[in-house]
């Protein structure tokens, strides 16, 4: 079988983390694949790349093409359509190798949600700096997490604050600040959003989507004022893993499954629960709970409390939406499938 290719399209990719991340994974897992960087002067260059690599299976999309690429795609996932920006493209080919469809998806939103959710700690109002493609995913993710979002831009617009509007009262009324601009990204490391940093304090969580350098000027200025800070590296890892799942959707490796031979019991008895040898809490961005009748209940970012017998079979499971950081929770990068009577394989 020929080597499979994946890649990243963008205008300037010298800062990119993706090639090293994916190629290290391919080497570690003995996958005959390679991830390449494609710097193109216009988004129309995507057609040349696809023609040149007949085994190209998927692409990531970065600045400035996350919205420009939309007219070139055959279809969008529901999430990409809702966000209005694409960072992942699956290339579907027929048996003859010809392209059947280009499907656009957005993994930025879920990747960001997974990264910021453990840090929220009750914070519920965000200033979102920038209006580019990344901000669309961030705004979508924050609202799904129950966070009120106020966009901020250099240019005045309806429903948008400018940096000049950011008074002490407004900054203090928002306990999350997310930098969705490329300001501070290598090589322009001495730049930062024009925020009144003197109003930032210990109540704030300041999240920078930039990950190179590891500590940006925005993060440094906020941390000096006592804020909790984070860069975009974990978000990037999350969205990369989600993209790989999307490119290879349907493969056996797409999810972590809790499987075995189910018991005949429709539900756990009190004796079963009392005799449980172990109680574990697990967390994933997606948990599918399969009931005894075979129906599936899907949960987004959630924590499952599992009661396991001495053989490791699930005798009871309770699922709750993730709201804040909790001790003793094991995090899984892949979706989980839970079924009463099945062994827990971690």
Give catalytic residues, as residue numbers: 66
- Read off the tokens for 316: 């009871």
Find how far residue 186's CA is from the centre of its chain: 22
- Nearest Cα to 53, choosing from 36, 76, 70? 36
User: Which residues have C-beta within 8 Å of that of residue 30, sequence separation ≥ 6?
Assistant: none
Burial of 118 by CB count in 10 Å (0-12 exposed, 13-18 middle, 19+ buried)? middle
What phi and psi values does residue 208 have, to the nearest 5 degrees?
-110, 125
251 near 33, Cβ under 8 Å? no
Find how far residue 307's CA is from the centre of its chain: 29
- Nearest Cα to 84, choosing from 9, 134, 158? 134
What phi and psi values does residue 8 have, to the nearest 5 degrees?
-125, 130
CA dihedral of 24, 27, 33, 37, whole degrees rounded to 10 = 20
Helices and strands per DSSP (H, E), number in the chain = 9, 20
Strand order in the sheet with 287-290: 256-257, 336-339, 287-290, 296-299
For strand 148-153 and strand 125-129, is the pairing parallel, antiparallel, or unpaired?
parallel
For the chain, what percentages of helix, strand and coil (3-state, to nearest 5) are there? 30, 30, 40
List the Cα angle 109/216/86 in 5-degree steps.
25
How many CB atoms sit inside 10 A of residue 299's CB? Answer: 19
- Nearest Cα to 342, choosing from 316, 322, 304? 316
């Amino acid at each position: 079988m020929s080597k499979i290719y994946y890649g990243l399209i963008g205008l300037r990719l010298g800062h990119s983390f993706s090639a090293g991340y994916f190629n290290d994974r391919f080497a570690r897992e003995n996958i005959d694949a390679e991830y390449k960087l494609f710097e193109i002067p216009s988004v129309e260059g995507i057609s040349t790349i696809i023609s040149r690599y007949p085994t190209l299976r998927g692409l990531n999309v970065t600045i400035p093409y996350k919205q420009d690429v939309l007219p070139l795609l055959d279809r969008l996932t529901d999430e990409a359509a809702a966000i209005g920006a694409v960072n992942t493209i699956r290339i579907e080919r027929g048996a003859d190798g010809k392209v059947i469809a280009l499907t656009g998806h957005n993994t930025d939103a879920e990747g960001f949600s997974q990264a910021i959710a453990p840090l929220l700690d009750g914070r519920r109002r965000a200033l979102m700096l920038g209006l580019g493609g990344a901000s669309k995913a961030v705004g979508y993710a924050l609202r799904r997490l129950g966070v009120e979002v106020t966009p901020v831009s250099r240019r005045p617009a309806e429903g948008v604050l400018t940096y000049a509007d950011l008074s002490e009262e407004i900054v203090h009324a928002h306990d999350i600040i997310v930098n969705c601009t490329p300001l501070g990204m290598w090589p322009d490391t001495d730049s930062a959003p024009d925020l009144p940093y003197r109003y930032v304090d210990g109540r704030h969580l300041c999240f920078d989507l930039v990950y190179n350098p590891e500590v940006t000027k925005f993060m440094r200025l906020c941390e000096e004022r006592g804020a909790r800070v984070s860069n975009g590296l974990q978000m990037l890892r999350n969205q990369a893993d989600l993209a790989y799942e999307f490119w290879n959707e349907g493969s056996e490796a797409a999810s972590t499954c809790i499987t075995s031979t189910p018991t005949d019991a429709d539900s756990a008895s009190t004796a079963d629960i009392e005799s449980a040898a172990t109680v574990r809490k697990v967390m994933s961005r997606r948990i599918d709970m399969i009931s005894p009748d075979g129906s599936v209940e899907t949960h987004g970012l959630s924590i499952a409390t599992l009661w396991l017998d001495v053989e490791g079979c699930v005798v009871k499971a309770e699922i709750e939406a993730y709201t804040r950081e909790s001790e003793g929770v094991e995090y899984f990068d892949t979706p989980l499938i839970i079924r009463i009577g099945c062994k827990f394989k971690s």
